[in-house]
Amino acid sequence: MAPALLASAAAIFYVYQEEQAAFQRAMREATRAMALVVERELAKRETLVRTLAGSPTLTRGDLAAFHQYAQAMAPANDTVIVLSDLSGQQLLNTRRPFGETALPRTVFAEARRRAGPMATLVSDLYWAPLGKQHSFAVEVPVVRDGRVLYYLSVGGFASHLQPVLGDQNLPERWIGSIIDTRGVIVARSIAPEKIVGRTVPPAMLQALAQQQEGAFRTVSLDGVPVLASFSKSRVYGWGFIIGVPLREITSPLNAAGAFALASLALLAAALAGALWVARQLVGPVRQVAQASEAIGQGGAVEPAGTGLAETDKVMRALAAASRSIRDANEAMQARVADALAEAEKAQRIVVQNQRLEAIGHLTGGVAHDFNNLLMVVSNNVHLLRRQRPELQGSTPLAGIERAVATGTKLTRQLLAFARRQALRPELIRLQDRLPDLMDLVRPTLHGGIEVRCEVDPATPLVRVDPAEFELALINLAVNARDAMEQGGRLSFRARPAPGGLAVIEVADTGKGIEPQVMARVFEPFFTTKPVGHGTGLGLSQVYGFAAQAQGRAEIESEPGRGTVVRLCLPAATTQEAVCDGQEAADPGSSVGDGLLLLVEDNLELAAVTQDMLRQSGYAVRHVASGDEARALLAAGEPFEAVLSDMRMPGRTSGLDLASWLRQQGDQIPIVLMTGYSAELERAGRLQFEVVSKPCPPEQLLAMLRQAVERARAARRQVAAAKEAK
């Protein structure tokens, strides 16, 4: 009996230890994945600042032009670009007017002294004197002809990283923290307003100084005993900590242990009773001993009569204990298996899916409201120009229109960055778009590079995301620039190819690529550049862009003979009317007449849109939901056309309203508006007329006028056919 007790205790202890070890392994993997997320966030900022550092305006020393260029690249108030001299004194700051002399010094002076002039630096958390918030920055040297001219940094508020942390879907009571190289909290999943800016406890600080990653028990800054796991970035030195409250770990294990101990106690009591009864009768005792041995071997025991009431009770107790132990073991094994399965699942998706889904939800959730605001501003500017002709040459109004265009572009680029490629696929005519993009490419090159652009007139249309297309060409241009340090020629060519393809070739006359490197150039994070001079994400983005456009990317290169990258994209087979601001509206197309139904739940946007439509000659009836619009249309109101938002309160969306009108057979046209990319594609697939918010007023009016004229022409044809009968 004693060996059985020891075996049971050992088995329980072993399972307990294995469950703890599996949990800690899952914590370590999750921490490494989160550290990788932090590293990629910093790498994006390094890529931005290195692109800016290559600006020809810095080569010429034209700081005023660079200040304007930097503000255009980072116009948001919560992002700052700073150019400083070699001593750390700021020369310009995008948060301040150019030429202001009372600028502070950068936070990198001491770190720059330790790291050397050519290193990329990521600051620790600091209090921004101009932004008045906790901030951090990434700084790179501006090098020309092997000499450092300036230092350029991009900074942002620490609160930028809070959504990145919040989007990882950590369990509710787990504490996730992003830390800088000093162990100062930069972002935190729980109580960031109290903890950000504080240093981790001394025990954690000591562990961070000695190890790249690890785990141990400690107490969090808000006094909670936790099992903490940490991992640091080998590139930037920042890290990530996950703290799991000990009660979250020990509660289920303690419950299982208590149950097992109770079972062992019951076995011990049975053993004591058996020893006592053994002195009375040998036979019943032998039966009890055999039953106990069976339990020790993991077998089941069935109650059997021994002829003695006392031993009968013991046998019944042993049978119950065997069932309890068996059930407890099965339940514990099931819990361990479930925990391992969940940990493995989390490990697989933490990097691949969670980050992309989180960014997609973050960007998509604000797109509708932000685009509504842009459309309100755009329509008000249009009204001002109509009502106040003397303002036609107004510089402030032109500035507002440029700001609306910039906001529209930024919103689309943000959505494209989230890799939701269905956001804005558009039909691109390379004969027009490729030459226009040269103005975007040239600022990334130095003056010794000649740029050529040739497009075969027979090149077919392609359907791609414009923002991703622009980014792919910029990445190829930057790689070509680095390969032609002494100058050369960069050529962009587009032509048709067999198999229904359009091929875009980007060729340089640089130093080429070694054969052993060619097989890995499209791998993420693979780079042959020195440490601190590249992320390895440029060609990876190009490859991903081509694949997501249902095409492919190819590369050819020989050492000393340059490199050619080909983007083979499928030719478009259909044309869709998408309002993307690429074409100018006919000046006479904005005048109309008749009664329109406007369906829009945003009251500010509805008010300004009504004014704009009335100024253009229409009578307007406004309702705030699809349900109200459907009721009016069903009542036979004589509307010439319907202009409707797609996402509104109530049971009837704009798309539902359009489908209902089509089913009724009414010849009342409907034009849909949306700021959501998925809805834009759905409406396009159903062949409804749809515009993407914000849409220039002239194009919206032109589309309405054309829809009304087509409907009137159709009604005239029907009437003529009836008269002919």
What is the 8-class DSSP label of residue 13?
H
pLDDT given for residue 360 in this prediction:
44
Q: Which two tokens stand for residue 289?
A: 């001993």
Q: Name the burial class of residue 67, with classes exposed (0-12), middle (13-18) and buried (19+) by CB atoms within 10 angstroms of its CB.
A: buried
Whole-number Cα distances in Å, 424 to 17, 405, 680, 691, 692: 52, 16, 8, 12, 9
- Kindly state whether residues 561 and 645 are assigned to the same domain: no
pLDDT at residue 135 is higher than 80 = yes
pLDDT higher than threshold 80 for residue 16: no
Count of CA atoms in the C-beta half-sphere (13 A) of 17:
6
Rounded CA separation 695/701 (Å): 10
My answer on whether 513 and 641 are in the same domain is no
What is the Cα–Cα distance from 326 to 366, expressed in whole angstroms?
Answer: 54
The residue from 506, 537, 570 where one domain ends is: 570
For residue 650, the domain's CATH number is 3.40.50.2300
Q: How far is CA 122 from CA 109, 153, 200, 268, in A?
A: 12, 9, 19, 63
pLDDT at residue 413, as a whole number: 46
Is a pLDDT exceeding 80 seen at residue 56? yes
Shared-domain flag, residues 600 and 480: no
3-state secondary structure of 634: helix
Query: Alpha-carbon distance 396 to 402, whole Å?
Result: 10
Reported as a single tens digit per residue, the pLDDT across 623-646 is 999 999 999 999 988 899 999 998
Q: How many CB atoms lie within 10 A of CB 194?
A: 12
Q: Does some domain include residue 231? A: no
The answer to whether residue 643 is domain-embedded is yes
Same domain, 520 and 493: yes
* Residue 118 belongs to domain with CATH number: 3.30.450.20
pLDDT, one tens digit per residue, over 394-422 is 788 788 878 877 677 556 544 444 444 33
533, 487: one domain: yes
Radius of gyration of the chain (CA): 35
> Looking at residue 588, what is its pLDDT?
45
- Give residue for tokens 């059930």: 327
Q: What is the mean pLDDT of the chain?
A: 81
CA distances from 679 to 54, 647, 682, 693 (A): 39, 9, 5, 12
CA atoms of 236 and 243, how far apart (whole Å): 22
Average confidence (pLDDT) over 227-235: 90
Shared domain for 596 and 564, answered yes or no, is no
Q: Percent of the chain, pLDDT > 90?
A: 30
Same domain (yes/no): 600, 566? no
**341 within some domain:** no
Residue 31 belongs to some domain of the structure:
no
- Label residue 527 by pLDDT band (50, 70, 90): confident
Length of the chain: 725
Please tell me the total count of domains within the chain.
3
276 CB-side CA count, 13 A: 10
Does 142 lie in the same domain as 74? yes
Instruction: Say if residue 525 is in the same domain as residue 479.
Output: yes
Q: Name residue, tokens 């983005």.
A: 541
E strands in 67-133: 79-84, 90-93, 121-122, 126-127
**Residues 585, 589, 591, CA angle at the centre, nearest 5°?**
135
In this structure, what DSSP letter does residue 690 have? Answer: E
User: Residue 291 — very low, low, confident or very high, per pLDDT cuts 50/70/90?
Assistant: low
Phi and psi at 502, nearest 5°, equal -115, 130
439 Cβ neighbours under 8 A, 6+ residues apart: none
**Which tokens hold the place of 243?**
């703290």
- How many Å apart are CA 687 and CA 682, to the nearest integer? 9
What pLDDT band is residue 460 in, cutting at 50, 70 and 90? very high
Statement to judge: residues 442 and 488 lie in one domain: yes
Q: What is the pTM of this model?
A: 0.39
The answer to the question of residue 385 being in a domain is no
What confidence tier does 520 reach under pLDDT thresholds 50, 70, 90?
Answer: confident
Q: Which of 135, 158, 181 is the last residue of a domain?
A: 158
The SS3 call for residue 302 is: coil
Closest CA to 596 of 628, 626, 639, 627: 639
Q: What's the CATH code of the domain at 494?
A: 3.30.565.10
- Range scoring the smallest mean pLDDT among 59-63, 441-445, 572-576: 572-576
Mean pLDDT is lowest, of 1-15, 291-305, 468-482, 534-548, for 1-15
Q: What is the pLDDT of residue 115?
A: 83
Got the DSSP string for 202-225?
Answer: HHHHHHHHH-SEEEEEEE-TTS-E
Cα separation, 693 vs 649, in Å, equals 18
Question: Do 664 and 704 fall into the same domain?
Answer: yes
544 — pLDDT class (breaks 50, 70, 90): confident
Which of 97, 128, 158 is the endpoint of a domain? 158
**Exposure of 210 by Cβ count < 10 A (0-12 exposed, 13-18 middle, 19+ buried)?**
exposed
Q: Would you state the pLDDT for residue 298?
A: 64
In a domain, 456, yes or no: yes
Given pLDDT bands bounded at 50, 70 and 90, which one contains residue 433?
Answer: very high
CA distance 93 to 103: 8
Q: Which residue has the higher pLDDT, 56 or 361?
A: 56
When pLDDT is averaged across residues 137-165 and rounded to a whole number, the result is 90
Has residue 423 got a pLDDT over 50? no
Domain residue limits at 691: 587-724
Q: Is the pLDDT of residue 497 over 90?
A: yes
In a domain? residue 391:
no
* Structure confidence by residue, pLDDT tens digits, 327-359: 766 777 787 677 667 756 555 435 533 643 454
Q: Is residue 268 part of a domain?
A: no
434 and 566 assigned to the same domain: yes
Decide: 705 and 689 in contact? Cβ < 8 Å: no
pLDDT of residue 269: 72
Around Cβ 133, how many Cβ atoms within 10 Å? Answer: 12
In which region does residue 500 sit, left (phi positive, over 0), alpha (psi from -120 to 50) or beta (all else)? left
Which pLDDT value is given to residue 25?
Answer: 83
